[in-house]
Amino acid sequence: MESLGVLLMLPLNPYLESELDRRCKLFRLWQIPKASRKDFLYANSPSIRALVGNSAVGADADIIDALPQLEIVVLYSVGFDKVDLAKCRSRGIRVTNTPDVLTDDVADLAIALSIATMRKICSADRYLRSAAWKTKGQYVFTSKTMPIVDVEMPLNKDEMSRRHKGVIFSGKTVGIIGLGRIGSAIAKRAEAFGCFICYHSRTEKANTTYKYYPDIISLAKECDVLVVACPLIAETQHIVDRKVIDALGSNGVLINIGRGSHVDEAELISALVEGRLGGAGLDVFEYEPHVPGILFSLDNVVLTPHVGSATVETRRAMADLVLRNLEAHVMNNPLLTPVL
Amino acid sequence: MADGSAKQGRNPRTVLLLRPTFEALEDVLAKRFHLLRAWESPLPLAEFLAAHATAIRALFIRGNGSVFVDAEILSSLPNLEIIVTNCVGLDLIDMAECAKRGVAVANAGNVLTEDVAEYAVGLLMDVLRRISSADRCIRAGLWPITGLFRLGSKIGGKRVGIVGLGHIGSEVAKRLDAFGCIISYYSRKQKPSFSYTFYPNARTLAAQNDVLIVCCALNSDTYHIIDKDVMDGLGKQGIIINVGRGALVDEKELVRRLMQGEIGGAGLDVFDNEPAVPRELFTMDKVVLSPHCAVYTQESFADLFQLIVDNLEAFFSNRPLVSKVTEV
C-alpha cells in the first residue's frame, strides 16, 4: 500500500494514523491551513486515491471534485451522512463504513444514558463534588490551593429524597425509533431489565415480538423512554419534533444516540426547561461541539460528547476495519463493509 | 394486651419511632397508627423508653443515620414483639438478641431489589464509559476546547464477579449478562440454580475478574470482605462497585490505591463512615459517587411505604408479617 495516497480528513485515532503513515502515503488535511487547502489538494490530488473520514467530516461534493483520482472513501464511523453518495455513485467511488463493531458500544451507551438520567446518577455525583468546596455551608474561595474537606451527606431524609429520588428504569416501556442493528441490541439489553419493548420504523420487521407502531406519535405516547436509533436521512431530520416531545410528556425521557439533527433541539430545550418533558440523555447535538448552555443547569439531563463508540476496544476494532477495507481495495478483493 | 393498654389510656396500635424518617412516611403511618416520637421528648432515651415500655409492642426504625437497636434498648422494651425497618440491611439491629427475646423483624423484603440492582449496573456503566466525567466536562464548557475525550472501556467481555449472589446480586447478574459480561460469584453457599461460576472466597473471585460488584449483607463475617488481598487479586485495572455497606470494603486501602493508580476505578454508593465521604475522592475522574441513594425511586418509595403499613397492619391484626426476616 506504500504508493497509496490517503487523505486523512481529521485526527481520528493515533494507532490508525501511525499505521496509515507507516503503510501508505499519508496526507493530513487538518494540518494544512484552510487558506492553503485548495492549493494543497491541487498539488497532491494525482496521488490521493483514498480518503479516510468519519461521521463529522466525510466527503462532500467539493472535496470529491478536488480529487480526480479518488477511488474509495473509507469511513471510521457507521454513519455516512456526510458523504455525498450520489456523487460517489456517479464517479464510481467506493464507500465503506464500520458497522457491527460499534453496535454494542452504542447500545450500551443508550442504556447507560437511560439509567444515568432516570436514576440521577450524574446529578448525585455532581452534588457530592460541589459540596466538597463548602465548609459548613459556606463556599470556600481560594487562590492557590482548594482546601477539599470531607463532605457530609445530608441526613435529612426529605432533602435526600427531593434531590436524589429518580424513577426506576427496570420494567418500563422502551420505545425505539429504528430497529436496525443498534436498535435491536438496545432492545435485547432493555429486556434484561424487564422492560417492555416497542418500536417505530419505516416498515414493520418480521421475526420480532416487539410491538410495532406505524405512527411515531403513538409510540411516544405509549413509552416511558424513547430512544433514537435510526440512520440520519432526509426523512428522519427532526423526526423527534414538538409533537413527539409533547406525546412523550412530562414523565417521559428522550435518549438520543443517533444524530443531533434527529431532534428539534430548540423544541427539546424549551420542553425540558418548561417541564413538559421529564428528562433527556443526549450523546449528540445539532451543532457539535456546541451544547446549549441552558442545559447545564438542569438535573434531569445527562450530556455526553458523542462517545457512542468511544472505547479503547471498539476504536481499535474500527481502525483495523478501516485498514482492512483499504487493503482489500488495493488488492482488488471484495470490500469488507461496503456502503457503495 | 388491649385491656392493659385501655387501663393506662394507651392506644393499642402504638408504634415507636426513635428518629425522624421521611415526612411522607410519617404522615402515612400517623394516619393509621399511634406514633410515639422518641426525639420529641425532653427525656433522655433510656427514661423515655422506661416511661412508655408497657405500651410498646412495635418499633419502626429507619436505616442510615439511625440508632443501633442493641441489647440495652431491647431490654428497655420488654413488650416489644416486632421491629419494622425500611431497609433490606439488618446491620442496625442486633438480630441475635432479637431472636433470643422472640422479637420478629420485618424488613424491606424484595421491594428495593431491582432499584439497587439497576443502580449498581448504572454505576458500573458510568465508570467504564466515563459518563459523569464527560457530563462534567461538557458542563464546564470544555468540549469545544479539548475536543477528544479520554476513551472509555467496553462493557461486553468484562469479567464481573458478584460478591453475594442474593436477590440483588442475581438481578445484577441477569442484567450484565445481556451486555455480554462474563459473570461469576462468591456467596456463602453455592447456588446450583445459576450457571455462573462459583468461587469459594472473595480473593479467588477477584483474581479471575475485572470488576467486583459488592451486593452482600454486612455482618461480622463480611466486614472488610474487600480487603488488601482481594484488591491485589483484582489488579491495577480492576473496578469495584459497592451498593452494600461502606464497611464491606477497606475504604482506606481503596482510597490509597485509587490515589496511587493501583486500581482502575470505583462506583460507590456507600461509605465506611457515613455521612463523611473521603475528600481524596472528589478530585478523581475514575470514581462515581452517590450519597447512599441506590434505593431512591418514586416506585420503590411507594412500594416500601405500602409494605411497612402492611407489616404493621398484619401485626396489629394478629396476622403473619408480610416480609418477616427468616434467615439471617
* Residue range A227-252, pLDDT digits in tens: 999 998 899 999 999 999 999 999 99
Q: What's the pLDDT score for residue A145?
A: 45
- How far is residue B111's CA from residue B87's CA, in Å, rounded to a whole number? 10
Residue with cell 469495584: B240
Q: DSSP code of B287?
A: E
Q: What's the pLDDT score for residue B148?
A: 67
- How far is residue B116's CA from residue A119's CA, in Å, rounded to a whole number? 10
Q: Would you call A30 helix, strand, or coil by DSSP?
A: helix
Closest alpha carbon to B18 in B31, B52, A176: B52
Q: Of A23, A306, A316, A324, which residue is the catalytic one?
A: A306
Contact A152 B275 (CB under 8 A): yes
Contact B180 A104 (CB under 8 A): yes
Q: What's the pLDDT score for residue B239?
A: 98
- In chain A, the percentage of residues whose pLDDT exceeds 90 is 85
**Lowest mean pLDDT across A155-169, A255-269, B273-287:** A155-169
User: Cell numbers at residue A312, please?
Assistant: 479503547
Count of pairs with CB atoms under 8 A, one residue in A, one in B: 206
Query: What are the angstrom distances between the C-alpha of B123 and each of A115, A320, B170, B269, B286?
Result: 9, 30, 16, 9, 11
**Lowest mean pLDDT across A155-164, A322-331, B55-64, B315-324:** A155-164
Mean pLDDT score of chain A, rounded to an integer? 92
Q: What's the pLDDT score for residue A143?
A: 38
Residue A89 distance to chain B (closest CA, Å): 32
Q: What's the pLDDT score for residue B8?
A: 44
Residue with cell 487493503: A327
Query: Which residues does A62 contact at the CB level (< 8 Å), separation at least 6?
Result: none
Query: What are the angstrom distances between the C-alpha of A246 and each of A198, A217, A262?
Result: 18, 9, 16
- Evaluate whether B238 touches B266 at the Cβ level (below 8 Å): no
**What domains does chain A contain, in order, with CATH numbers?**
5-97+313-331 (3.40.50.720), 102-303 (3.40.50.720)
Q: What's the pLDDT score for residue A161?
A: 81
A-interface mutation test, from B113, B130, B139, B268, most A Cβ less than 10 A away: B139
Angle at alpha carbon of residue B187, lines to B186 and B188, rounded to 5°: 135
Q: Would you call B105 helix, strand, or coil by DSSP?
A: strand
Closest alpha carbon to B296 in A140, A119, A260: A119
Q: What's the pLDDT score for residue A141?
A: 43
Tell me which residues of chain B have a pLDDT lower than 50.
1-8
Which of A115, A126, A289 is the closest to B143 by Cβ? A289
- Evaluate whether B79 touches B1 at the Cβ level (below 8 Å): no
Q: What's the pLDDT score for residue B10?
A: 61
Q: Would you call A285 helix, strand, or coil by DSSP?
A: coil
- According to CATH, the topology of domain B14-107+298-317 is Rossmann fold (3.40.50)
Say yes or no to pLDDT of A140 above 80.
no
Q: What's the pLDDT score for residue A262?
A: 97
Q: What's the pLDDT score for residue B100?
A: 96
In this prediction the pTM is 0.91
Contact A164 B131 (CB under 8 A): no
- How far is residue B247's CA from residue A193's CA, in Å, rounded to a whole number? 29
pLDDT digits 0-9 by tens, A109-123: 999 999 999 999 999
- According to CATH, the topology of domain B112-289 is Rossmann fold (3.40.50)
Residue B215 distance to chain A (closest CA, Å): 17
Q: What's the pLDDT score for residue A153?
A: 67
Which of A157, A168, A315 is the closest to B115 by Cβ? A168
pLDDT band at A152 (very low <50, low <70, confident <90, very high): low
A315 touches chain B (CB under 8 A): yes
B275 contacts on A by Cβ (under 8 Å): 151-155
- How far is residue B125's CA from residue A85's CA, in Å, rounded to a whole number? 36
Parallel/antiparallel/unpaired status of strands B34-37 and B14-17: parallel
A319 touches chain B (CB under 8 A): no
Contact A122 B299 (CB under 8 A): no
User: Cell numbers at residue B195, please?
Assistant: 450457571
Q: What's the pLDDT score for residue A156?
A: 72
A10 touches chain B (CB under 8 A): no
Parallel/antiparallel/unpaired status of strands B104-106 and B182-186: unpaired
Strand partners, A225: A174, A253
The CATH 3.40.50.720 domain(s) of chain B lie at 14-107+298-317, 112-289
A11 contacts on B by Cβ (under 8 Å): 148
Residue B7 distance to chain A (closest CA, Å): 37
Q: Let me know if A306 is a catalytic residue.
A: yes
Say yes or no to pLDDT of A67 above 80.
yes
Burial B219-228 (b: 16+ CB within 10 A, else e): eeebeebbbe
Query: What are the angstrom distances between the C-alpha of B113 and each of A114, B110, B214, B243?
Result: 19, 5, 14, 11
Residue A66 distance to chain B (closest CA, Å): 27
Tell me the catalytic residues of B.
245, 274, 292
pLDDT band at A149 (very low <50, low <70, confident <90, very high): low
User: Cell numbers at residue A217, please?
Assistant: 406519535
Q: What's the pLDDT score for residue A89?
A: 97
- Evaluate whether A311 touches B151 at the Cβ level (below 8 Å): yes
Q: Would you call B37 helix, strand, or coil by DSSP?
A: strand
Which of A108, A164, A194 is the closest to B129 by Cβ? A108
If contacts are CB pairs under 8 Å, which of residues 144-173 in chain A contact chain B? 148-155, 157-158, 160-161, 164-171
